[in-house]
Structures are given as C-alpha cells and as structure tokens.
Amino acid sequence: MNWFAPAMTIAGKDLRLEWKTRDVVASVGLFALLVVVTASFAFPTTGDGREGIAAGVLWMAFLFAALLGMGRTMAIEKEDGCIDGLLTSPAPRESIFLGKLFANLGFTYAVELVILPVFIVLLRLDPAGGPWLLLLGTFMGTLGLVTVGTLFSAMAVNTRGREAILPLLVMPVSVPVMIAAVKVSEAAFTGEWGSTTAWLLLTLAYDAVFLLVAIATFPSLMEE
C-alpha cells in the first residue's frame, strides 16, 4: 500500500522532532502523572469495586493526555506552516493522516507505558487478569481514541478557538471506546474475564470503522 511509506516518513519526522525537543511528551506526560496522583487522593484505595473506579481514573487520565497531545502536535504543525509543505508534496492526503496518526500514537503510547506502572503502584493494584490484557486493552482503546482525535484535531486547529474545541468534539464520539477500554482494564485488574471478549470486539469494531472513516474523509479537510 503506497500510503504507508510516506506515512512512515511523516511520522518519522514528527517523532524525530519530538525526540529532540521533547516538547509534547514532557508536558503531556507530566499532565497525565498529575491527573493520576490527584485522582489517587480522591479515590478509595481499598474496598469493593475499586478496580472499576481505578480503571475509570486511568482512562480519564489517558483521555485528557491524548487530547492535550493531539492538540499540541497539530498546533505545532500549523504554527510552523508545515501543513502547506506537506500538501504541496506528492504525498497522498491519506498518508498525511496516517503519518499524524502514527506520530500521535507514538507519543500517547510512550506516555501511557510510563503512566501504567506508576498507576499500578500508586493505587496498589494487582493486574491479576494478566498484564497482557491490560496492554492489549490500552493499545486498542488508545488507537480508537487517537484516530478520532487526530481527525478532529485537523479541524479544531483551524477554528477560532484553536485546539480548545478538540475535547468537545472528541468526547461524545469516543464514549463507546472509553467504556470498552475501562471495562477491559477493569477485567485486567480484577482477573474476572466476564464479557471482556465482547468489549475487545467492540473496540476492534470501533477502531476499524473510524479508521476507515477518517482515512476517507481526511482528504476533504485538507483544502486551502
């Protein structure tokens, strides 16, 4: 698929830029950490059902962090005028989207992989359901979230409120994947499988549908 190569190049550019400046990862990572720490004061560390609450807190932190990061990366793109450069290049528009998506995923996964162990330690959780389930759920849930977020951030950055409107656009639409991600994480924390398969399938369906929709509609957003 000749979308892939240009996408990787674009993503590589963003990630290399990020590696040098650590602009986004630092602020987003710190933000996520603060959310987790603040929440752990408010939420119970003992008692029934705390895994469910913990999962909810975790994904709120991930959601806010992802929104912050995606808003930033698009804003950086716009500030530096890179978008025009990308548009005049022979790269197909779909690749631009995939490139941004991969870059955003890179940042978000990096932050999440750091936050997860911190979170588990702080809230004294025990991923009895298997750390692999936790990772899988995080991977798939984040994918759906960042797909929709990347698509909308391309729009948000061109509005008069800039990135501020991004949470407003993303949050209602992301409700299904958020519910699913929380349920899967909860299962990972409790060890009770329950209907986790159904939730994983829902996440898969969500990811697939919106990835397709995003790739299909992104080009029409990129006109000047």
124 burial level (CB within 10 Å; 0-12, 13-18, 19+): exposed
- Is residue 18 within 8 A of residue 24, CB to CB? The reply is yes
End-to-end CA distance of the chain: 27
> Can residue 89 be called a binding residue for other proteins (CB under 8 A)?
no
Residue 159: partners with Cβ closer than 8 Å, 6 or more residues away = 165
> Can residue 48 be called a binding residue for other proteins (CB under 8 A)?
no
The nearest distance, CB 217 to other proteins, in angstroms, is 5
> Can residue 189 be called a binding residue for other proteins (CB under 8 A)?
no
DSSP state of 90: S
> Can residue 179 be called a binding residue for other proteins (CB under 8 A)?
yes
The nearest distance, CB 170 to other proteins, in angstroms, is 9
Taking CB under 8 A as the criterion, the residue among 41, 46, 81, 224 binding other proteins is 224
Taking CB under 8 A as the criterion, the residue among 65, 98, 143, 151 binding other proteins is 151
> Can residue 12 be called a binding residue for other proteins (CB under 8 A)?
no
Structure token pair of residue 4? 């892939």
SS3 2: coil
Amino acid 52 reads G
The nearest distance, CB 126 to other proteins, in angstroms, is 22
Residue 72: partners with Cβ closer than 8 Å, 6 or more residues away = 23, 24, 27, 28, 163
Using the minimum distance from each CB to other proteins, give the nearer residue, 114 or 221.
Answer: 221
> Can residue 47 be called a binding residue for other proteins (CB under 8 A)?
no
- Residues found near other proteins in the complex (CB under 8 A): 2, 92-93, 148, 151-152, 155, 158-161, 165, 168-169, 171-173, 175-176, 179-180, 183, 194-195, 198-199, 202, 205-206, 209-210, 213-214, 217, 219-221, 223-224
